[in-house]
Amino acid sequence: MKDTVTVPVKSSLFLSEGLAEPVSVVTRTLSDGTKAECYKIVVKSIPSDHNMGPWCPENITDDSSAGGIWMEGGNVYDVDGAFIKNLASFYNDNTWMMYDANTGAIIKTGTKEECADAANPNVGEEYKNFCVECMPSYVGDITHTYYIPVRPKVAVRPYKYSRGPGGGLGRRMPSVRGLAFNGVVFDAPAPVDRILEAYTLAPFDDAGGHINLAAGYHYHAATGLSTKIYQSDIHAAMIGYAMDGYGIYENKDAEGNSYHDLDASRGHYDSSRGYHYHVDKAGSNNFIDGLRGEFAE
C-alpha cells in the first residue's frame, strides 16, 4: 500500500524533562540496509508527567490506593490488600500465601539487593511468595539512547513481534516497541509466566509501569496516565512513537469505541494521521504486534 500522507516524527512532542540531552538528528542505517536521518533520543526513563508507584500494598487491609495493578487474562486488577489475600483462590493454588496470617502484613522486597535477587528469572526458594517492587532510588541516573527515523519508511514486508517477552522472530527487531512522550519506553511483554512460576508478583503501578535495575522505569500497559495529544476529531489520542517512526495512539477513540480495521501490526491508515498504530487493551500485556516500517539498527 502506498501512503498518500506520511507524517514525520515531531520531536518537539517529547517532554524536555524526560530527556538527558536535547534531541538531535544523526544518520543511521535502517533495517533494510539504507541510511536515513534519525532522531537520537536520550531518555532518563523517569516520567515527569505522573508519579511512579505504589506497587505492593503494605497490609491485606489496604485499599487500591496503596498498590498498583496486575494484568491477567486480558483484564486489569487492582493490587490491593484483598487481591493479595485472595491469590490462592485467584490462581486456584494454595501455595500462594503472600502475607503474615497473624498481622496481615504483606511480604515484599525491601532493598535493592532483594529487588535484584527476586526479579532474577532464576529466583530462589527464599523469595517464594514475595511481592516484588523495585524503587526509583535503586536506579539512580540511568539513561537509554534510542534512534527513530525522522520520516517513516514502509518496509517491503512488515516485521512481526512474538507475543512472549523479548524481541521479534529473528529479524533483528528491537524489543522496545516505542517511546511515550515522557521518554518512558513501551516495552516488550512482561515475563508474567516466569514471575508466577516462582510464586512472586511484580505489580505495575496505575500508569502500567514498574522498575527493573537494567531498564529503569518502563511501561507494560497504556492506561491513559502519560502525556497524550488529543485529536481534533473523535479519533483516539496520540501517546508516542513506535521505533519505526509511526505514531502510537490509544486503544479506543474519544467515544470509547475500539478499532476493528487494524492490520497484523495493530495499525491502519487515515488521511489526517497517515499510517499509525493503536495499542492493545491495557490488560493484554502488549502494545503493538509488529512494525510496519523500517527501524534504525
Distance between CA atoms of residues 247 and 147, nearest Å:
15
- Which parts of the chain sit beneath pLDDT 50? 165-170
The predicted pLDDT at position 166 comes to 46
Residue type, 121: P
Judge if pTM exceeds 0.85.
yes
Instruction: Return the H-helix or E-strand segment holding 83.
Output: helix 81-85
- DSSP result, 87-103: HHHHTT-TT---B-TTT
Local structure of residue 287 (DSSP, 8 states): S
Q: pLDDT of 254-295, one tens digit each?
A: 999 999 999 999 999 999 999 999 999 999 999 999 999 999
Kindly give the residue spans of alpha helices, DSSP state H, lying in 94-186.
112-118
C-beta of residue 204 within 8 angstroms of C-beta of residue 55: yes
Which residues, 6+ apart, have CB-to-CB distance to 232 below 8 Å? none
Q: How far apart are CA 151 and CA 3, in angstroms?
A: 13
**Alpha carbons 16 and 236: distance in angstroms, whole number:** 24
Confidence (pLDDT) at 276: 98
The pLDDT score that the predictor gives to residue 171 is: 53
**Angle, CA of 93, 98 and 99, to the nearest 5°:** 130
Q: Which residues contact 268 (CB under 8 A, 6 or more apart)?
A: 259, 261, 262, 275, 276, 278
